[in-house]
Each structure stands twice: as C-alpha cells, then as structure tokens.
Amino acid sequence: MYPGKFYYEENSFKLINNDTFDTLNNFEEKCIDMIFADPPYFLSNNGITCNAGKMVSVNKGNWDKALSVKDKHEFNKKWIRECYRVLKDEGTIWISGTLHNIYSIGMALEEEGFKIINNITWQKTNPPPNLACKTFTHSTETILWARKDLPKIKYKFNYDLMKRLNNNKQMKDVWTTSLTKPSEKKQGKHPTQKPLEILERIILASTEENDFILDPFCGSSTTGIAANKLNRNFIGIDNSQEYLDLSIRRYEQIHEFRNNKKND
C-alpha cells in the first residue's frame, strides 16, 4: 500500500510525517476505502477572532497562509486528483471546509472526476461571537461527501445504520453538535480540530470494520482516533511533527484508558 517509512506505527494506527503530495505519489492505486480531509482554509490573513472568550489572531500557521484564488484552486485540484487515484472505486471522500475554501473544493471535485453525494452542514451550538460585528455569526461548516463519477459502481453507504442512530428516521444533512469538547483536547490543541462525534458518524456511514481510512491533512488525528475506536485501519499524513506528536499522545491516552478499564 505505502512503501515508505512510517513516523509512527502501532497496529492499525499509522502516521506519516511528510508532504502530502510526495506521500500520496507513493501509494498504490485504489488501496483506500474512505478519505476524510480537512485541508487548509487559507484564512490566515492577520485578522482577529474569538477563542475561549478572548480576542486572538486568526493566523494558524504557514500552512494556512492566504493564497490567490488561482493558486488555491490549483492546490485543491492537485491533492484531490491524488485522492482519486488512491481511493477504491466503491470508496468515498469527505471534505470539510468553510466559505474560504469549500466552493473551490466543490468545483475541484467535479473537475477531477468525483460526483458530490451530499452537502452536509455542520451546525455548531456554541460558535465564537463575531467580534467585528460586520457579518452574521459564523456558526456552520460544510462537509462535502463525494464518490467517483462511475455510475455502474455502488458506493458504500450504511443507510440502515444511520437511520437507527437517528431514532429510526432518515438522517438529514444538517448535523448539530457543540465545538470540540475540552476533554478531547487534554493532550494539546489543534486550531481546526473537529469533534470526535462528527468523525465517528462519517466513518460509520461509509465504511465497514477493518476498512482503510486515509486523512491527508491529519493534524491531531481526530479521524484516526475515531477510526481506531470503531475498529478501522488509519493512515494519517501531516508535515508538522508537533501535531503528529499530539496525535500519538491522543492515541496512547485512549489505549491507556482502555487498559485501565480492563484492569478494573
């Protein structure tokens, strides 16, 4: 599947510390069952926002520096093209974003051979206030769910399970949760960390146990933590050693908790 050396490898949880594009080039074709990606939003433009009641900079790092519209779209097309190559024909891709990048991503998906299945709206119950008071409060993010545009191939969707989890009613495309809980940040924080609840739902909806899940911008590896809890295999890629070390601490914390429960 991947011939290179892993930064961290423990059973079904694997991390790669490298550039996403260089790494994906080394993967075999059609080896991944599902991809979740939370790519750069390109909104680090020296503005301000609110975090935990305090005024803070929106800048997240060099990986999130604002780009021109053309450069941003070329970046999105490039990594989505590689994801198409490594994804199995019956697999699906989920991509999270905000107004800063999601429209480019939607276009790039279609240009690179994908067909969008759903436009999920993640509604946050406790969004930070808008300090500038010049717009409505930003309280949602979009998650695009897409398949390869291959009409004769049936993609994975666990419809019955999603219905059961929703009190035996069809699950809608608006998902409402709080922001990431403090308990999920005990080992450290990532600026765009998603709640485990969101990733668990995504994984349950579109994979089976022992499937291979890839996150090409894994950050603190919420995708991997959720995948591990649900008995899936995970490969995460990130060029930041700091966030991969955070991922490892999160993974080891979960296993320490499990071992303690067994010994109780």
Q: Tens digits of per-residue pLDDT, 124-140?
A: 999 988 888 889 999 99
In the predicted structure, residue 263 carries a pLDDT above the cut 80? no
Q: Structural domain boundaries of the chain?
A: 8-43+71-125+136-263
In the structure encoding, which two tokens stand for residue 163, read together?
């219905």
Whether the pTM exceeds 0.85: the reply is yes
Cβ atoms of 93 and 76 closer than 8 Å: no
Q: Which CATH superfamily is domain 8-43+71-125+136-263 in?
A: Vaccinia Virus protein VP39 (3.40.50.150)
pLDDT per position as a tens digit, 88-124: 999 999 999 999 999 999 999 999 999 999 999 999 9
Tokens encoding 60: 């997240």
Residues 33-52 have pLDDT tens digits of 999 999 998 875 554 444 54
Q: In this predicted structure, what is the pLDDT of residue 58?
A: 47
Measured between alpha carbons, how far is 174 from 140 in angstroms, rounded to an integer? 10
Residue 130: predicted pLDDT = 85
